[in-house]
Structure formats: structure tokens, C-alpha cells
Structure 1
Amino acid sequence: MSLISRRAALRLGACSLAAALAGSWTVLIEPSIVLINRYQIPLVNLPPAFHGFTIAQLTDLHLGVLVSAAFISKVVERTNALRPDAIFCTGDYVHAKNTTEEIDQVWPLLMRLRARHGVFSVLGNHDHWADTERSLYWLERSGQNIRHQCKTLERGKERLVLGGAGDLWEDRLLIDQAFAASEENDCRLLLSHNPDSVDTAFKTPLALTVSGHTHGGQVRLPFYGPPVLPVQNKRYASGLIATEKSKLFISRGIGWAIYPVRCNCFPEIALLELVRQPDARA
């Protein structure tokens, strides 16, 4: 073999090794490293008693291919270990379509979640694609159901009102109906799987909407961001975003959907800390 041929073979081998390592990282390694990311969420109308209130958010678990029940069980344990004031679960707990098997696996794990003020859950499109009736059964049985209703958290004489929307793609949102029992000056937090929900026609003032669905894009390119997002508003990738109707927080979630990779977009358990923001009009 000539010197040039050897060099070409070495280059090809090096490139093949680099591609194999990159593929292994994006498919097998990064998706398995779940970060605990802490976010401070300033809200103008947050009652003083809820300054410092913590919410652990779990979303887009996608139990199924490449995401095992054992993996989700560890995520649940780590979430409980954070000792949050509340836990919000915002849908897509299973991956496969037209089957109840994964639904029956994941919900007993979700029912292990514990928080001082409770665990509150809504459904996502994959939960409906798997089986709407079975997902609604477990949502109610879990005691976590906040879909199409609101619940009040109290600290002394002050309160925080939580409400839940149906999935944007596969259910009715009914945001105004969910908060029908709330009062004019309440600080309202909405759980809604799909962040595009904040751009729909509803009238109820919201301090914060907590969503998932995007997985952060799963792949984030330097200087560009995620090339693929399953939302109409391409601003809605992840993190805290200001919108016309509500502050919006989107978690990168745990599992995968369109393709089984993550690159520069680690899965996360999001821990939100609510803090009072001074009113600029005061």
C-alpha cells in the first residue's frame, strides 16, 4: 500500500470513528443524562406568601422505545428528592400509538410523585394517540387531574390558582372554562402540554403557562438553535418566554419523539422558583 493510500485509509478510519462516537453520544449517552435545571420565574402579581414557591416540572417522558420504566422510576425518585412545593406534569407520558400497555406502566410510576402542595397533571397528544379513554382513566385515578378545572393553593390568607388545559391537537383547550371559578385578582398558572396554546382565543389573564411538547427541539445547532420544532410559533423552543397573553415556560422534557437523538439539548427536570417581580407601573 502506498503512503498516500495509507493516509487516505487513516483519514477514513478516523472519520468513521468520529461519526460512530458522535452517533453513540446522541443516541445512547446524551439522552440518558437527565439534568436538574433551576429557573427563577418573576411574576408581577405573585402573592407575597408564595415568593420562593418551587415547582418541579416533568413532561414528555415518552415511556417506550429507548425510555424504560426503570429510567422513569429514577426520574421520579430524583424529582421527589428535590422536595418541591408542587409538581406539574404536562403530558406525553407514553410513546407508542394505539396501545394501553405503556399507559398502564407509566401511571403507577407517576403516582409515586410527592410534593407538599400536591401533584397536578394534564395530558399530551401522545397520551391521546395511545388511548384517550385509558389515559383519562389513569389521570383521574391518580388524583392528579387538573384538566379543564382549577384548584387553589393556600398559604395563610393568600392563594395561587392552578388550571389545566386539554391538549391543543387532540382535545379541547377550554382555558376560560377551567378558570371559571377563579376571581378577578387571582394569580393564575396554567398547565398546557402544547405551548402554542397561549396564542389561542381565550380571555382569562394568566401569570404563567407551563408547557412541554417541544423537547427543546432535541438537537440544537450552534448559532442557529433547533432546526425542527413541532409548534407553529418557532420562538417556542424551551425556557422562559414573554408572550402577549402570558409568561410561558417550556421544559425540554425527558424522552424523544420525532427522532431518537439529543444533541446539545440534554433532558431535564425543571425546578421553577416563583418570585415577586416589582410592577413597573407602580
Structure 2
Amino acid sequence: MISRRDLLKMLAAVGLGSTALSSYAVAESFGERITSYALTPPRWTPGLRLRLAVLADLHVCEPWMSVDRIAAIVEQTNSLQPDAILLLGDYVVGHSLGRLSTPVSAGAWATALERLKAPLGVHAVLGNHDWWEQREVQARRAGPTRAGLALQAVGIPVYENQAIRLQKDGKPFWLAGLGDQWAFWSRSGEDDELAVKNSYRYQGVDDLPRTLAQVTDDAPVILMAHEPDIFPEVPNRVSLTVSGHTHGGQVRIFGFSPVVPSRFGRRYVYGHKIEQGRNLIVSGGLGCSTLPVRLGSPPEIVMIELGGGGEA
């Protein structure tokens, strides 16, 4: 938990120290809650009960998301005894908040995440900030990224349009990881298909058809996708899509989020969404972007129990 002294320092750093509301908004950025979901998606394997812990949008930096704080999040996540842990990207701080923070080396935060433990493993995808962090990655329009290499170095697999088959109690399921949809800034003058349909002018490394083509039987599929914008394209074959990216709006006033980084606006800003029998859960994430404040959208560790709730 953040100390009063550190809180005052942080308020001074962002110039928000004069109001109680500002103090609350900074303080709400700390102290993770557990948000739980229980559902049985359509066509879910009878008897398959699966507990997933989801960590999204750490945005690691000092003092807002320190290595010590990550260690506490890791300990709390392990204590929940999930079957598998899913990391949904944006491990790095990002350029805007970077002006108000001190970077943390990729090796340091990855070493802290290495302590995550689950019987069916820890699995990761990258987020847009993990691609944006390095100008050389943007220039060559290809990885590897520093974040991806750091995770792989500590034994955490990073999926880019890949699917793997796992088993729980002899019952199989597939875990698929989509490449990031906002990996590259659009070059000046580019008018590609994504830029035309999307007010956010980015290009992705995502390939949903290639990802799902690796699924070779009728076992349930769980899809990890950093941005939830892919969801309208996800077929019924996928039992559940899990995403981060939006921070739950980061600032929600009476349930309204003024800014949501999505071409769908607030449609996928937060929580459990069901569309035409397809299920999406969007995590509010743990860290901050642009400014180190959260209001009405506290940081969270998401726990999902599949096969143990009502049919979705």
C-alpha cells in the first residue's frame, strides 16, 4: 500500500495536490482488488472446470508500478491458486507517463513476473506499448521487442498468432494468443485498410484466421487479445476472448468514460460482454497511461472460473 508521504510526492509530481478529488484519483491507482467472473460458455466441455488469473496493463515504472509492487501482485495472484495465468500485454510504461516516471529495466520486471506459478503455466501476449517502446522496432516494422525477449528469457512464452493445446483433468482446451492489433504507427501518408476503418491509425501484427487454423479439434478455445477491438471478428468457435488495453476507461465518472482507446468507443470498455452468444471479458488492468490517476476504475486482478457458473 502506498504511504501518505509517497502519495504527497506523487501529487506534487503531477501538479494535482490541491484537491481531495485529485488525492483520491492518485490513491485509487494503488491497492489492487480481485474481480471475479463465473460462466459456462456455449459448447463448453461438461465437467471441465478451469480457473484463470488475468493480469493486464502493468505499465511498469517508478514510482507508480515498481518492482516491489509487482512482487506483491505476483504473491496475491499465486495465492488465488489459478490453473493458468494469462498476461495480456503493455508491460512497459509508455512515452506519455514516462515524463512523470523513472523507467524500470525489462529484466527487472520480467524477473518479478517469473515468480508467477500455476499448474498449467503462465502465458503472455504483447500490447501496443510493448511495440511502441522501441523506435528501431517501429522503423523495421518487425520484432523482436525488448518486452517479448525479457519474458521469454525468464521462461514465460509469448504468443503471436499461436495456439497451444492444454489439458485439465484429462479434458483438453486450446489457448490462443493474438498478435497485437496496434503494433505499428502508420507511416505518414499511408492509407491502408486498417487506417481507413479506424480513427486510430495503427497497423497490427494480428492474424486471427492463421491463429485459429492451428486448432485441430473441437475442444474449447480461449483467445488472448490485448485490444478488445477484434471481438466482432471472433467466431463462435471461440469460447471466451480475454482482453485489456482500455484500463476500464481509467477515469469513469458515474459509469461514463470520457476517453476509451478503441474504434468502438465505450462498447468494450470494461467487463463481461456477450454478443450473439460470444463471450468477452475486458480487464480494467493494473497500471496507468498518460497520467498516473484512476477514478472509478481501480486496478484489478481478474479471476475467471469457467465451467463453474451459469451458462453465458
Q: TM-score range by the shorter chain?
A: 0.7 to 0.9
Report matched runs for 1:248-263 at 5 Å: 248-263=280-295
Distance of 1:96 and 1:217 partners within structure 2? 17
Deviation at 1:96, TM superposition (A): 3.4
Could you say what secondary structure the match of 1:163 adopts? strand
1:195 aligned partner? 228
Give the partner amino acid of 1:192: A
SS of aligned partner of 2:54: strand
Tell me what 1:149 maps to.
Answer: 162
Partner of 1:236: 268
Render the CA deviation track for 1:169-207: whole Å, top value 9, x for unaligned: 10411122123231352211100000002234x667211
**Paired AA for residue 25 in structure 1:** Y
Q: Corresponding residue for 2:151?
A: 139
**Cross-structure match for 2:200:** none
CA RMSD in angstroms, aligned pairs only: 2.5
1:39 pairs, out of 17, 37, 46, with: 37
In the alignment, structure 1 residue 121 sits paired with structure 2 residue 124: yes
For residues 245 and 175 of structure 1, do their structure 2 counterparts lie closer, same or farther at Cα, with a shift above 3 Å needed? Answer: farther
User: 1:90 and 1:75 mapped to 2: Cα distance?
Assistant: 15
Residue correspondence of structure 1 range 68-83 to structure 2 within 5 A: 68-83=66-81
C-alpha contact 2:260 2:269 (8 A) present in aligned 1: yes
**Using the alignment, how far apart are the partners of 1:181 and 1:218 within structure 2?**
35
Conserved? CA contact 2:126–2:158, under 8 Å? no
Corresponding residue SS for 1:140: helix
Distance 1:245 1:259, change over 3 A: farther
TM-aligned CA distance change 1:165 to 1:100, over 3 Å: farther
CA shift, 1:273, in A, is 0.6
1:155 offset after TM fit, Å? 3.1
How big is each residue's C-alpha offset from its partner over 1:139-181, in whole Å with a ceiling of 9 and x where there is no partner?
A: 3333322322111111354211000001111041112212323
Do the aligned partners of residues 109 and 196 (structure 1) sit closer, same or farther apart at CA in structure 2, a change above 3 Å counting?
same
SS at 1:143 equivalent:
coil
Q: How does 1:260-275 map to 2 (within 5 A)?
A: 260-275=292-307
Q: Tell me, what secondary structure is at the counterpart of 1:31? A: coil
Structure-1 separation of matches of 2:148 and 2:60: 17
Q: How does 1:19-58 map to 2 (within 5 A)?
A: 20-27=19-26, 29-51=27-49, 53-58=50-55
**Greater than 6 Å deviation, 4+ residue runs:** 276-280
Determine the C-alpha separation between the residues in 1 that align with 2:231 and 2:81.
29
Q: Which residue of 2 aligns with 1:227?
A: 258
Distance 1:139 1:175, change over 3 A: farther
SS in 2 for 1:48: coil
C-alpha separation in 1, matches of 2:113 and 2:34: 18
Deviation of residue 112 (structure 1)?
1.2
The amino acid of 1:115's aligned partner reads: A
- Cα contact 2:45–2:220 (8 A) shared by 1: yes
Q: Give the Cα–Cα distance (whole angstroms) in 2 for the partners of residues 107 and 279 of structure 1.
A: 37
Q: Which runs of 5+ in 1 are unaligned?
A: 1-17
Structure index of larger Rg: 1
Answer yes or no: is 1:169 the counterpart of 2:169. no
Preserved CA contact (<8 Å) 1:56 1:84: yes
**C-alpha distance in structure 2 between counterparts of 1:257 and 1:44, whole Å:** 35
Counterpart of 1:227 in structure 2: which amino acid? P
Q: What SS class does the counterpart of residue 173 from structure 1 fall into?
A: coil
Residue 210 (1) aligns with residue 242 (2): yes
